[in-house]
Structure 1
Amino acid sequence: MALIASDVNRSITTDFNAEGFMAEGDSPTVARRRVRLVLREAREAAGYTQLDVAEQMEWSLSKVIRIENGDVTIAPNDLRPLLNFLNVKDRAQVADLLATAKIARTRQRQAWYQKPEFREHLTDGLRRLIEYEAEATSVHTYSVFHIPSLLQIPSYSSALIQMWRDEVTEEQRHYRLEARRIRREAMLSRIGPLRMTAVLDESVFLRAVGGPQIFADQLEEILRLEERQLVSIRMFPFTADTGLSYDAGFDILFLGDEDEETETGDKVHAVMYRETGTTDEVVEDKSLVTRHYARYRKLWEAATHEDETVDFVRKRVRELR
């Protein structure tokens, strides 16, 4: 069942530098993601299932799943025997992964979104998204129903979440709105090193969440961000002859060079966040994320150019005022 060690090691260096180790200057967030990918890819290369790993390590299956999904970090004391079982035995690489695991656990415990009040009211997927947003070099957002959260003004966010008041408690609303505020401020402070684009369906600009006054204020904020070149926004018009994505919305985040690809053409540094009516998740499967990014690029090319989008939004503000 298992491959020889050299084959395994060749298969798991996709996200490392030419020597197969963490690139100098990598953030703990990016490095932690790479540790998870090493474990998953080494397991698959060796022909083991997650249950095989759980039985060998005498862990619960849920622990293996949570480690590979990134829901929890792995302790260095657990990582060493796991690497040995997966035939990852290069001494320098093992030492590097162990050091990274220690940094990751310290960093995660100190983050604001890991405080008890936020952990209680934010989903696991959203906390992971926040972690990646802090390290992203570019963010590409597609939305059919509403203004993306990172671009929302507080009054719009409040009106939007109020629509779900029967399903979300007042305390949950408070902490989710606070998290959205912190995320937005962090994003705006990083514009420059961070590049952001958005494709919004025409319906987003017509759906006056919060009423005419609040929605006009929100659209004026969109104009301000666009005119200051803090974000590039295109409207996907009703008349477009390119099919809408079946996903109501998703975010593609790059944690490194957008052009870097695997031998099969998958994007190396991309992750995706998406929501449904009842769940949200961060997706790290390279092929799946690459397909969504290609879909985003098609939508972007078919959408109304930024200048025309700005003209449409200005007209919409005049109508609302």
Structure 2
Amino acid sequence: MADSPYVARRRVRLAIRRARDGKNFTQSDVAEAMEWSLSKVMRIESGEVTISQNDLRPLLAFLGVKDRAEIESLVVSAKLSKQRAQWWETPQYRDLLTPAIVQLIGLELAAREIQYFYPMVVPGRLQTPAYTRAVFETFAGELSEEAIDARVRMREMRRQSFLDAAEHPEVNLVLDESVLYRQVGGAEVLRHQLEHLLVLIGERRISVRIIPFKEQSPIPMLATYEIVSLVDGTTVLYRESDTLDEIVEDHEKIKRHREIFDRVWQAAYDEPTSAGLIKDHATALS
């Protein structure tokens, strides 16, 4: 996983942004000097598109990157990142998904650890298809049926890639206890979802802790987020609220979210107790 195209793409765009900031150039300055559109510069730096080797070399020269070893390393990374488009990058999915989720899917494949903070529902990558559809149907007035269908298929393919992977990241999941009661899609759908979590716990693919309904427990005030620690030692934050989402790379914001996660993780029920709660709720729904 160390040579993931998504890690390579991220390495290149962060190097570009770092060099631009070092020169105090704006994105508009780069666009004008390179005779590119501002949109192209923005999409390269955000990770929405890759940059070709032919574009990268003159850009690095303009940004003052002169170390030959660094240049060649970035060129190699740019070449690696230009792999054949994966399923989520094809128009039938990409045009119906947010740029943030398109990036997240690739980065998940290069993760060594993922921390999920989900106070309302089970994380998308761990959802059963029926649970996923029930979640998205709550946005029927904001998303087209075509977009909902694409996102349901996307989540199932993300789940399947997680199940099929030969190597698994360490996954720690915090759920509010209310998730065990919230009958998304009805009792039967929730039961199957809880049973699926129990299978993943039993196979040691995930560790789950439940935030209990008791006075001294932290209140999960923040929106849904996940912290993805990559194999190259860097970290990204994916944050989601309603139909809006974003990839966050700001170190201080990531640090704050990790501190909140750690505090809630320590205050929650331990893994055996949490698994027992999930099992009790699944059994009660039978």
Provide the TM-score with structure 2 as the length reference: 0.93
Residues 274-321 of structure 1: CA distance to partner in whole angstroms, max 9, x if unpaired? 112232111222332232122211111111111111121222223322
Instruction: Indicate whether 1:75 and 2:40 are aligned.
Output: no
Matching residue of 1:125: 100
- Sort the Cα spacing of 1:132 and 1:240 in 2 relative to 1 into closer, same or farther, 3 A: farther
Cα displacement (A) at 1:242:
5.1
**Of 307-316 and 45-54, the range deviating more from structure 2:** 45-54
Counterparts of residues 177-192 of structure 1 (less than 5 Å): 177-190=152-165, 192=167
Counterparts of residues 204-283 of structure 1 (less than 5 Å): 204-239=179-214, 241=216, 243-256=218-231, 268-283=233-248
**Equivalent of residue 46 in structure 1, options 23, 39, 45:** 23
Residue-pair matches, total: 286
Unaligned runs of 5+ in 1: 1-23, 258-267
Q: Is the 8 A contact 2:131 2:190 kept in 1?
A: yes
- In structure 2, distance between residues paired with 1:49 and 1:307: 52
Cα displacement (A) at 1:25:
4.9
Q: Is the 8 A contact 1:140 1:251 kept in 2?
A: yes
Q: Is the 8 A contact 2:125 2:158 kept in 1?
A: yes
Q: Is the 8 A contact 1:240 1:303 kept in 2?
A: no
Matching residue of 2:257: 292
- In structure 2, distance between residues paired with 1:269 and 1:174: 33
- Sort the Cα spacing of 1:181 and 1:52 in 2 relative to 1 into closer, same or farther, 3 A: same
Matching residue of 1:168: 143
- In structure 2, distance between residues paired with 1:40 and 1:295: 28
Cα displacement (A) at 1:110:
2.5
Provide the TM-score with structure 1 as the length reference: 0.83
- Sort the Cα spacing of 1:56 and 1:153 in 2 relative to 1 into closer, same or farther, 3 A: same
Matching residue of 2:274: 309
- In structure 2, distance between residues paired with 1:279 and 1:218: 24
Residues 161-196 of structure 1: CA distance to partner in whole angstroms, max 9, x if unpaired? 122222222222222111111100111223753211
Unaligned runs of 5+ in 2: none
**Of 109-118 and 183-192, the range deviating more from structure 2:** 183-192
Matching residue of 2:13: 36
Q: Is the 8 A contact 1:71 1:124 kept in 2?
A: yes
**RCO (CA 8 Å, sep 6+): is it higher in 1 or 2?**
2
Q: Per the alignment, in what secondary structure is the counterpart of residue 247 of structure 1? A: coil
Matching residue of 1:14: none
Instruction: Indicate whether 1:66 and 2:32 are aligned.
Output: no
Q: Is the 8 A contact 1:199 1:300 kept in 2?
A: yes
Which amino acid letter does the alignment assign opposite residue 186 of structure 1?
S
Taking only aligned residues, the RMSD between alpha carbons, in angstroms, comes to 2.0
